[in-house]
């Protein structure tokens, strides 16, 4: 009997694979790590073949740990990080590492196209401003800098569509990742041939657009041998990680909002109407008939991972003695610091910044250091800085006509009660934390569930799988101090912006 779903999440630092039952309970989950390469300043790239190797190991491990037969899996769903540009030849061989969402090497190409075509005309078609983080400029960067790769390119794939290809042999492009290309019409959900010509992107590079829950193929004999899945298992097209996480957090109605706490930060506001703003990101939801107005930041959970890696030697040593994780120890010292960090403010622009400032040259900054500040101040300032960037995006979204009322948190950051409360206090929004901290992988699995008929529709899928574990209400006593901190945050960037430019 087909009783289970399998979700695959292609994240920035690792892939995550989980087996779910019909109620959304995780039977087993496995991760597979892979590196990010930083060969030059502004560059950030990964090898998709290393994703696939990690996926194969994690799928095998999760099926074994779940104690189920591969034949019991009803379908596979895949989500992935945004804005890849995976150049493959006719056989599907990867021709070069793909620049990922943090990569800003193509700024000059964006500047030129915004001047030649017109930034407003590009925005009218794509619903997004042309920035180097997106897929568009990366394709053209290949053309200008890797002519042999460009000449041998048959298709450009996204992270989830590459894994779908490895599983099924089919090269596709699903709807929610279309927003990475500025020749994608954000109103119609179709490729725009005229803008392809204007941008200089060959139309034949772009695969056929499929619905996110559409079954694009089945697991091939070769993929079954490598992954341990059963040959013939249906595979859904999948979607953007943020959009699948939004679904996995239970956001399927207009006005509902997901708060993202993975490697990157930000939010996704569900809307039934086209609402574009050049300061934000607009994409299709994985749920048909809906858009997501998104804020995407480079500073999210990755900020704390960086801080722990570089400054938590003592906490890692103490873990051996106490059994308390280094991150939990950092939480404990941050909790002793007053809201507002006694004037210490952190700009979380650790890989440039995306929305709403769109500055690839922005840098992380601690402002307000003096001899009274402690490690706890710096940890809390990191948490508050990420929350301030979330507030910035939410306020811009409100100006664009999309008001978030309640945030539904997802990602590893949601496991920190302190950090979640800080986000509620700084944004002034209640935050609900769903039961599963595998919301992104669950959302991918839901797509396969709807696509195969395992669930009747998204209403049934969410009703069965998503529940609330806790709720954080804003602490009104902290509003005044956080309003002052936010004002300093905005003024600090404006004062430093002239220094945060290309030189």
Q: What is the 3-state secondary structure (H, E, C) of 341-369?
A: HHHCEEECCECEECCCCCECCCCCEEECC
Report the mean per-residue pLDDT for the chain.
96
Strand locations in 298-344 (E): none
What's the pLDDT band for 424 if we cut at 50, 70, 90?
very high
Residue 427, pLDDT score: 98
Q: Token pair for residue 40? A: 């030059």
Helices within 26-118 (DSSP H only) = 48-66, 107-113
Asked if residues 73 and 230 have their Cβ atoms less than 8 Å apart, the reply is yes
| 257: helix, strand or coil | strand
Query: Is there a shared CATH topology between the 4-237 domain and the 301-406+475-496 domain?
Result: yes
Cis amide leading into 356 (omega within 30): yes
Residue 188, pLDDT score: 97
Asked if residues 238 and 79 have their Cβ atoms less than 8 Å apart, the reply is yes
From 388, 308, 379, 293, select the one nearest 349 (Cα to Cα).
388
Residue 146, pLDDT score: 98
Residue 461, pLDDT score: 98
Query: Average pLDDT, stretch 440-451?
Result: 97
Pairing type for strands 257-261 and 98-99 reads unpaired
Task: Considering only CA atoms, give the Rg of the chain.
Answer: 22
Tens digits of residue pLDDT in 274-310? 999 999 999 999 999 999 999 999 999 999 999 999 9
Name beta bridge partners: 37.
Answer: 45
**How many whole angstroms separate alpha carbon 329 and alpha carbon 322?**
10
77 sits in which H/E element:
strand 73-80
From 397, 361, 331, 381, select the one nearest 489 (Cα to Cα).
381
Tens digits of residue pLDDT in 458-488? 999 999 999 999 999 999 999 999 999 999 9
User: Domain segments of the chain: what residues?
Assistant: 4-237, 301-406+475-496
Residue 503, pLDDT score: 57
Asked if residues 421 and 339 have their Cβ atoms less than 8 Å apart, the reply is no
| 82: helix, strand or coil | coil
Tens digits of residue pLDDT in 129-169? 999 999 999 999 999 999 999 999 999 999 999 999 999 99
Question: Between 3.40.50.300, 3.40.640.10, 3.30.420.40, 3.40.50.620, what CATH number should domain 301-406+475-496 receive?
Answer: 3.30.420.40
Residue 487, pLDDT score: 98
**How many whole angstroms separate alpha carbon 283 and alpha carbon 276?**
9
User: At the fourth CATH level, which superfamily is domain 4-237?
Assistant: ATPase, nucleotide binding domain (3.30.420.40)
Mean pLDDT lowest for which of 261-265, 286-290, 389-393, 400-404?
Answer: 261-265
Phi, psi at 101, each rounded to 5°: -60, -20
Pairing type for strands 4-10 and 73-80 reads parallel
Helices within 201-287 (DSSP H only) = 221-227, 241-248
Residue 457 CA to its chain's centroid (Å)? 24
148 CB neighbour count, 10 Å cutoff: 10
Q: Token pair for residue 136? A: 């568009």
**How many whole angstroms separate alpha carbon 57 and alpha carbon 61?**
6
Query: Average pLDDT, stretch 205-225?
Result: 98
Residue 187 CA to its chain's centroid (Å)? 22
From 84, 79, 82, select the one nearest 98 (Cα to Cα).
84
479 sits in which H/E element:
helix 479-496
What's the pLDDT band for 316 if we cut at 50, 70, 90?
very high
Asked if residues 99 and 140 have their Cβ atoms less than 8 Å apart, the reply is no
Q: Token pair for residue 335? A: 């909790």
Residue 417, pLDDT score: 96
**How many whole angstroms separate alpha carbon 476 and alpha carbon 269?**
24
Residues 6+ apart with CB under 8 A from 155: 88, 171, 205, 206, 207
């Amino acid at each position: 009997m087909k009783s289970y779903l399998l979700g695959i999440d292609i994240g920035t630092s690792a892939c995550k694979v989980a087996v779910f039952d019909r109620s959304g309970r995780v039977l087993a989950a496995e991760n597979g790590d892979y590196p990010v390469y930083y060969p030059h300043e502004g560059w950030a790239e990964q090898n998709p073949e290393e994703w696939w190797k990690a996926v194969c190991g994690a799928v095998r491990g999760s099926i074994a740990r779940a104690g189920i037969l591969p034949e019991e899996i009803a379908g596979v769903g895949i989500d992935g990080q945004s804005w890849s540009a995976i150049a493959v030849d006719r056989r599907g061989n990867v021709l070069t590492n793909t620049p990922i969402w943090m990569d800003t090497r193509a700024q000059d190409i964006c500047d030129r196209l915004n001047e030649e075509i017109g930034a407003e005309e590009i925005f009218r078609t794509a619903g997004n401003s042309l920035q180097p983080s997106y897929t568009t400029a990366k394709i053209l960067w290949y053309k200008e800098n890797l002519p042999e790769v460009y000449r041998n390119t048959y298709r450009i794939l996204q992270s989830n569509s590459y894994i779908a290809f490895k599983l099924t042999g089919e090269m596709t492009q699903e709807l929610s990742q279309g927003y990475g290309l500025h020749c994608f019409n954000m109103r119609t959900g179709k490729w725009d041939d005229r803008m392809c010509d204007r941008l200089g992107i060959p139309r034949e590079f772009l695969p056929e657009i499929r619905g996110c829950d559409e079954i694009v193929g089945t697991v091939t004999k070769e993929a079954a041998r490598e992954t341990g899945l059963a040959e013939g298992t249906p595979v859904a097209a999948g979607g953007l990680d943020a959009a699948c996480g939004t679904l996995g957090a239970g956001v399927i109605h207009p006005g509902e909002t997901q708060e993202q706490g993975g490697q990157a930060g930000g939010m996704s506001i569900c809307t039934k109407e086209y609402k574009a703003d050049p300061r934000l990101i607009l994409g299709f939801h994985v749920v048909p008939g809906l858009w997501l107005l998104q804020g995407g930041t480079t500073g999210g959970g990755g900020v704390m991972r960086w801080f722990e890696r570089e400054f938590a030697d003592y906490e890692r040593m103490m873990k051996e003695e106490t059994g308390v994780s280094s991150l939990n120890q950092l939480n404990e010292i941050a909790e002793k610091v007053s809201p507002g960090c006694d004037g210490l403010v952190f700009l979380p622009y650790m890989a440039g910044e995306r929305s709403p400032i769109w500055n690839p040259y922005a840098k992380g900054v601690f402002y307000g250091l003096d001899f009274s500040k402690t490690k706890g101040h710096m940890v809390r300032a990191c948490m508050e800085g990420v929350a301030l960037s979330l507030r910035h995006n939410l306020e811009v979204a409100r100006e664009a006509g999309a008001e978030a009322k309640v945030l539904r948190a997802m990602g590893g950051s949601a496991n920190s009660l302190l950090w979640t409360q800080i986000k509620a206090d700084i944004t002034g929004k209640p935050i609900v934390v769903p039961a599963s901290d595998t919301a992104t992988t669950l959302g991918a699995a839901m797509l396969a569930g709807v696509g195969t008929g395992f669930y009747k529709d998204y209403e049934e899928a969410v009703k069965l799988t998503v529940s609330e574990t806790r709720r954080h209400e804003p602490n009104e006593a902290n509003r005044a101090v956080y309003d002052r901190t936010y004002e300093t945050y905005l003024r600090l960037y404006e004062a430093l912006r002239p220094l945060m430019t290309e030189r």
